Amino acid sequence: MQFPAREENIRTKSMFVSRALEKILSEKEVRRPPHGQLRRACQVALDEIKAELEEQSQGSKTIPKANFIEADKYFLPFELACQSKSPRIVSTSLDCLQKLIAYGHITGNAPDSGAPGKRLIDRIVETVCNCFQGPQTDEGVQLQIIKALLTAVTSPYIEIHEGTILQTVRTCYNIYLASKNLINQTTAKATLTQMLNVIFTRMENQAIQETREVEKSNQQKCQSPMIHTVSGSPKFGRLKYSQQESKPSTPVKADLTNGEPEKKRKWR
């Protein structure tokens, strides 16, 4: 059993999430009355993480539930921060989310409790995309959106498909069109190119893998035992083959079903 290694991994991820939440709480604007729900959500998450770390430090012999932080539990503070309409808080939240996804601390593989049939990563990407509200969006927020979406597409720890991928591409394209900042325009364009390259490379690799699996399956179906009897027509009779009796120098004999001897043909 490798409990110490797993516990150390969980402890590292817990500390990483804690620092991200503390960074959001350190913003001066968070202390204002409109952001009371955000403060409470951050504090609740910090208290839960602290309780988990204390439980592990007491030498608990129970098996850890999982080798990852439950993203569904700790994503709410970041979601509220992205919806705060405060450029400083939104930028901080996006930066933290980008790092959490990049290091695999938040995978989003859990089901989304608010949308049946979807995963949490779909909700995370949607939250990031909704931070862009058009040309009036803060330039710093635009840049953080681009970075977070690129990480979501290229990260080996998460998988996004179908509508979620389209949403990431559409958002980057909208930033490229609407942004008045030349740096953000150039970054969005380069990000789009990199995203599309990654997406098509994965599609090609998936197609190659499926082709190999089909070929392997066909080869297994084609492998069959040697045929010992071949039925011929009534006119020519039935040919009998034997792997042991057949020799290179021995011609194959034919037994005619009608009992008549084979007639010799004269060749001119």
**How far apart (Å, rounded) are the C-alpha atoms in residues 21 and 16?**
9
What is the average pLDDT value for the chain, to the nearest integer?
A: 79
Element housing 5 (H / E): helix 3-25
Q: Given pLDDT bands bounded at 50, 70 and 90, which one contains residue 235?
A: very low
Q: Given pLDDT bands bounded at 50, 70 and 90, which one contains residue 181?
A: very high
β partners of residue 229? 240
Q: Given pLDDT bands bounded at 50, 70 and 90, which one contains residue 1?
A: very low
* Short-list 141, 71, 83, CA closest to 109: 71
Has residue 73 been placed in a domain? yes
Has residue 238 been placed in a domain? no
Q: What is the pLDDT of residue 82?
A: 95
What percent of the chain shows pLDDT beyond 70? 73
β partners of residue 2? none
Q: What is the pLDDT of residue 59?
A: 61
If one counts the domains in the chain, the total is 1
Which pLDDT tens digit goes with each residue over 192-218? Answer: 999 999 888 888 888 888 888 888 888
Has residue 242 been placed in a domain? no
User: What number of helices (H) and strands (E) belong to the chain?
Assistant: 8, 3
β partners of residue 240? 229
Has residue 248 been placed in a domain? no
β partners of residue 119? 111
Has residue 164 been placed in a domain? yes
Q: Which domain holds residue 183?
A: 3-215
Distance of CA 176 to the CA centre of its chain: 26
* Short-list 242, 215, 238, CA closest to 228: 242
Which pLDDT tens digit goes with each residue over 239-258? Answer: 444 444 444 455 545 444 44
Has residue 225 been placed in a domain? no
Has residue 103 been placed in a domain? yes
Residues comprising the chain, all counted: 268
Element housing 238 (H / E): strand 238-240
Q: What is the pLDDT of residue 169?
A: 94
- Pairing outcome for strands 238-240 and 254-255: antiparallel
Q: Given pLDDT bands bounded at 50, 70 and 90, which one contains residue 50?
A: confident
Average pLDDT over residues 27-45: 90
**How far apart (Å, rounded) are the C-alpha atoms in residues 129 and 148?**
9
Average pLDDT over residues 139-153: 96
Has residue 28 been placed in a domain? yes
